[in-house]
Structure 1
Amino acid sequence: MKISLYILVLKLIITTLVFSIEVDGELDDAYGGALSVQQVQTGFGDPGSELDAAYSILLDDKLYLMLTGNLEPNFNKLEIFIDSESGGQNKIISNLNSNNDNWAEKFDGFTFDKGFTADYLLIVRHGFGSTQLDLDFTKLGEGGSGGMVGRFDPINSGKNGPFEASNGLVIGFNNTNSGGIGSDQGQRANQEEARSVRTGTELSIPLELIGSPKSEIRMCVMINGQGHDYLSNQFLGAMPEWTGNLGTDGLGGYLENSSLGDIDLNDFDGDQFFVITNGVRPLEIIGFESDQDLSDLSITWVSYPGVSYRVESSIDMKSWSDIEDGIVSLGESTTYTFLDVEEKEVRKFFRVVEE
């Protein structure tokens, strides 16, 4: 019976503790490590608008996305382009797209990195003294459509959400970050400081809304000006060091009544997109074994190359103690064996945490 109890408890912990995501603009531990981290200090003020890091996890047919940083309450745009289907647009052609919020006209001629073809666009706007948060969703291409799917009332001091849009998108928002990368435009950002930021814009995206992708998903995220016509230097994947605001012309200049057509992301080192791998198994305990007298216990879990883990124990699921940390992954699964249970202990709970 003890062995059955241990197995039951392990499954319960993985379900309720490791993968709990609340869409409220605060980074949950379940996201794991950052997929992209900012490299340059923002040219859009401090505090103003900045992108510190991107995190994502796929759970229950939803893509959860956390973008840490700030969005200034002056209707600057947080623009999230998604490449999740075959086809798409590597170069934006305005007359092939819905022009909600006038985005397509202003992006006409804009070119993404080689290997990125945009299929969908999310636009987040924040203004009126932090009293309004708008969310647009657009499917690019002929036959596509776009428009505002939600208008919400955030409170600037603290976490907000979950707010559910009309098409099933869910957004959370927390604009209280006062740390992060700094505002010495173009100079190298402190990436540890960027990783330390735990608040920003968070989204839950139903996979069926972006074509039910079965392989990797690519995202190009950027902060733009109020009229979609003056790009900052805040991109994820990040711009290289010493990159200032791109502006309208790619050189920091503002051209009235012009599009972003002179900007080609291939002109900047690195990829200004990051990759989310679909189909990867989540962290899960898949085995638990013990000898007859419970002196030797073994836990096996799904793991990933290059990642280290920590095994913890508890007698009440409230206070947790480390059994061992720095356990290096052995590949697709990792097993740890230890001497832990004393005879006087009626029950004990275990969990595995990615470091």
Structure 2
Amino acid sequence: MNEFNWLKTLAASLMLLTATGTVRAVPTIDGTASVADGYTLLSTQNTDTQFGNVTNPDPIRGFGSEIDQVFGKIEGGRLYVVMAGNMETNFNKLDVYIDSVAGGMNQIDGANLPLDVDGFCCGGSGSTNGAFQNSNGLKFDAGFAADYFLSFTHGFEKLRPDLPDQLEFYAASAHYADMTQGTAGAVVSAGMQLAQRGLPQVLRGSTADFNIDGRVNGEDFLIWQRNFGAMNANRTQGDASGNGMVGGEDLATWQAAYGFDASTTPIDQNYFAPLNDVDNSNSLLGPSLLGLSQGDLIDKNYALGANGGCNVDNSGAGCLTRELEFALPVDVANDPNNTWSHRNMENTIGLQMAFDNSNIAGVNGGPDYFNPTAGDPANVTSGIEFSIPLSQIGNPAALSDIRLSLFVNNGDHNYLANQFSGEGILLGNLGGNGSGGSGAFNDLRDIDLGLFAGNQFVTLTVPALAAAASAVPEPSSLALLAFAATAIIGSRRRKS
């Protein structure tokens, strides 16, 4: 091919790439499968949840768990997934098993898999149990053999028993394990986030913020005034002290906090994440953590780095904000038994995630689990979003299939809900309705997903250029290159 023909081919190819949309958007990790993200719908399930139905649109707090839809996408050498639905803020788990390479396990064999996966769920880190041992015996559908594992959860954590209740803070966290190497497979406590939608911020508040709008002002005084003398009261009625009564001490708390604003409070002050009240988490968003982007995880490397500021002795001293201590390794000198709840988080797998728990649509809460839902799961697009490099799930070959089995599990990974990716099971919780789970063996050995109609997994095909996609220029750059190539062709023609 001569130079002129080569330039013509280049220009045409670049224009085709731009026009056909081969260059696709990289999803924003915010907990939502938006139209702009370009996700593919993989499943819509039909079974009403028996793990509680969320009716409060707060992006964090929710008293129920459900899976409505699953979306997926492969872009730039990464797998992107959205579980559209809800996860209760009680440390229930979204467990994700990935079948991405040859081999794998069709039935979980806890004796031949790594220990201590999500170790604090099941007796504490260093115990002989973990997610795999507690899920031992679970059998997947025919055609599904798990190679890798992810688990996502969120709730309200406590750092140290001797710290005040205000230091009970919100955290979403994630875990990973490689199942292809037997008991020697990698186990990763990947990290945490301290606010909703993957935002690199912390939540802040005041017990005197009675209407939970992120500010302490005259509106809160009026709430206290209207309820003065009330018994069996809560914070939304003017009880700032938490003693169940609205009295003079609550007014004193309001006076001391007057002028508070969550968005401008110092980053290491005004910790607040109450367990029993409904919060407007959007209003409780406090300062940003430097050096993090939306979707990034906080781990020990961040906490010990320049932005986190924690002392290298793992004591928690020096941390820019106290929550960062949660990501540190055990302080063997001062707390060898880890009563301070350090989690030794390290995101060695490049995982990103975001929780948006604001969904109030989708499947209903029963009690009719044996007929298709009367709800609207097809309208749900927010929930848990994550992204992981293909290199961390075995580098699946181009045009091969990645299968994912996502389901809601309890906090100990041994009591399955009735919420799965795929086609739905039209049944109550699998952990307690006669199908097994958490019985005499305290695991899942009696549950066989192959006994239920349809596949309880979804499938996504690796595109031909998945690994190279991250090197493709943006459409605007392609257009400029095409224009330049066309101009060169014109110049050549004029000279000839």
Q: TM-score, normalised by structure 2?
A: 0.51
Q: Secondary structure at the match of 2:41?
A: coil
1:134 aligns with 2:267: no
Q: Which residue of 2 aligns with 1:238?
A: 423
Calculate percent identity across the aligned residue pairs. 34
Unaligned runs of 5+ in 2: 1-10, 55-63, 119-129, 158-168, 197-279, 286-292, 298-346, 467-496
CA contact (8 A) 2:106 2:139 kept: yes
Q: For 1:118-133, what aligned pairs fall within 5 Å after superposition?
A: 118-128=146-156, 131-133=170-172
Q: 1:89 aligns with which of 105, 109, 132?
A: 105
Unaligned runs of 5+ in 1: 283-355
Q: Which residue of 2 aligns with 1:38?
A: 45
Q: Which residue of 1 aligns with 2:78?
A: 62
Q: Which residue of 2 aligns with 1:11?
A: 18
- In the alignment, residue 136 of structure 2 is paired with which amino acid? D
Q: Which residue of 2 aligns with 1:334?
A: none
1:71 aligns with 2:204: no
Q: Distance in 1 between matches of 2:93 and 2:74?
A: 25
CA contact (8 A) 1:91 1:109 kept: yes
1:174 aligns with 2:356: yes
CA contact (8 A) 1:229 1:248 kept: no
Q: 2:133 aligns with which of 99, 105, 118?
A: 105
Q: 2:386 aligns with which of 195, 203, 221?
A: 203
Q: Give the CA deviation at 1:9.
A: 11
Q: Distance in 2 between matches of 1:180 and 1:123?
A: 22
Q: For 1:331-342, what aligned pairs fall within 5 Å after superposition?
A: none
- In the alignment, residue 244 of structure 1 is paired with which amino acid? G
Q: Distance in 1 between matches of 2:351 and 2:150?
A: 10
Q: Which residue of 1 aligns with 2:408?
A: 223
Q: Give the CA deviation at 1:180.
A: 1.1
CA offsets per residue over residues 241-289 of structure 1, 9 Å max, x none? Answer: 3x1110157537753651100001111111111111112679xxxxxxx
CA offsets per residue over residues 75-117 of structure 1, 9 Å max, x none? Answer: 0010000000111111111111112121111111111111110
Higher relative contact order structure (alpha carbons within 8 Å, sequence separation ≥ 6): 2
Q: Give the CA deviation at 1:157.
A: 3.9
Q: Secondary structure at the match of 1:177?
A: coil
1:163 aligns with 2:296: yes
CA RMSD of aligned residues (A): 2.8
- In the alignment, residue 405 of structure 2 is paired with which amino acid? C
Matched positions, count: 275
Distance change >3 Å, CA 116–CA 45, structure 1 → 2: same
Q: TM-score, normalised by structure 1?
A: 0.71
CA offsets per residue over residues 34-72 of structure 1, 9 Å max, x none? Answer: 111111011110111001111111111111111101000
Q: Distance in 2 between matches of 1:211 and 1:15?
A: 25
- Select the structure of larger CA radius of gyration: 2
Report the more deviating stretch, 181-190 or 193-202: 181-190
- In the alignment, residue 416 of structure 2 is paired with which amino acid? L
> Which structure shows the higher helix fraction?
2
Q: Which residue of 1 aligns with 2:255?
A: none
Distance change >3 Å, CA 183–CA 203, structure 1 → 2: same
Q: 1:23 aligns with which of 29, 44, 55?
A: 29
> Which structure shows the higher strand fraction?
1
Q: Distance in 2 between matches of 1:15 and 1:253?
A: 46
